[in-house]
Amino acid sequence: MKINPISKYAGGETKLRLKRFTKDLRHAAKHSEDPEAIHDLRVSIRRVAQALRTFRDLLDPYSVEKLRRRLHQVMDLCAAVRNCDIALTLLDQAGIKGSASALRLQNTRSAAVKKLYRRLKKERQKRRAAPDLRSHPKEEDWKPNQSLEANLCRVLPTLVEEFFASGRAAISTHASDQTLHQFRLRAKRFRYTLELFERFYGSEMERGSEILKHLQDRLGAINDCATTIEMLGADRGAAAAVGKLLRKRRAALHAYALGRFAAKELDWWKRWLALPRKSAA
């Protein structure tokens, strides 16, 4: 089977991300108590998942779905630990230490770490092959008969238009926490999609990635508060203290993002995304 350029690229980028995931998984299995090890594993999972999502028309759906199920199961266990870490950190920032809620969260975290460790130990024994390529790729987002560069200058400007439309709808003083959470996920996916093609772009990609990272950080800070308030349940005092942090973080997001979704910013994104350079790889 003759492999077209975009399919070959999709297979290569997916393999690279699976290799990094395997490395981070082994590290997390050895250091399951380390919040940074769990965070790195979560990022690796998201990057693999986004590669599968981005190249879905080029990859075999059966092998993709099989791998996605395994990634999702590990991600859920990582999230259970990470949410406790975030909640405990926020309680500390809010000046609440040694409370009944903090003790309960510590116990919940200990139980979650044990479940995660057992799963990671099993995952270390498994082989993670990259998904097979489709013998006949679907011609939807990607056109196998076109060059990589032609595909990029057609697909990515459209993708950024969709991202800006969702951002303008989400970034407002009245947006719900759930709306912001969904946009946060979209921002992550957009950033990880661009990372798949960074070799085709120069300093503009670096600047764009930095903008998205700052946006993600602010959206993540809001989601941390919202998740923690939900976990606190009936502890009204702690929830009120975290609620104050939430309001400050929403104001910080609004101040940062207000100019990031202006028409001139969209024009800048579309201009450089439509001009990929030839990759040496």
**On the CB side of 55, how many CA atoms lie within 13 Å of its CA?**
32
What confidence score (pLDDT) does residue 144 get? 87
Question: Cα separation of 126 and 114, whole Å?
Answer: 19
57-66 pLDDT, tens digit each: 999 888 899 8
What confidence score (pLDDT) does residue 173 get? 67
What confidence score (pLDDT) does residue 157 get? 96
SS3 64: helix
In the predicted model, is pLDDT for residue 48 greater than 80?
yes
What confidence score (pLDDT) does residue 174 get? 79
Question: Cα separation of 56 and 238, whole Å?
Answer: 44
Question: Cα separation of 78 and 156, whole Å?
Answer: 31
Average pLDDT over residues 241-259: 90
Other residues' Cβ atoms within 10 Å of the Cβ of residue 243: 17
Q: Which residues sit opposite 133 in a β-bridge?
A: 59
What confidence score (pLDDT) does residue 279 get? 64
Residue 160 and residue 266 in contact, taking contact as beta carbons nearer than 8 Å: yes
Residue 186 and residue 166 in contact, taking contact as beta carbons nearer than 8 Å: yes
- The rounded mean pLDDT for the chain is 90
97-133 pLDDT, tens digit each: 778 888 899 999 999 999 999 999 888 877 667 788 8
What confidence score (pLDDT) does residue 270 get? 97
Name which of 190, 151, 158, 155 is nearest 266 in CA terms.
158
What confidence score (pLDDT) does residue 122 get? 87
Residue 179 exposed, middle or buried by CB count within 10 Å (0-12, 13-18, 19+): middle
Question: Cα separation of 82 and 268, whole Å?
Answer: 36
In the predicted model, is pLDDT for residue 88 greater than 70?
yes
Question: Cα separation of 47 and 23, whole Å?
Answer: 14
What confidence score (pLDDT) does residue 244 get? 92
278 — pLDDT class (breaks 50, 70, 90):
confident
Question: Cα separation of 272 and 97, whole Å?
Answer: 49
Unique residue bearing structure tokens 């798949």:
196
258 — pLDDT class (breaks 50, 70, 90):
confident
SS3 59: strand
Residue 191 exposed, middle or buried by CB count within 10 Å (0-12, 13-18, 19+): buried
DSSP secondary structure string for all residues of 31-55:
-TT-HHHHHHHHHHHHHHHHHHHHT
170-225 pLDDT, tens digit each: 887 678 888 999 999 999 999 999 999 999 998 999 999 999 999 999 999 999 99
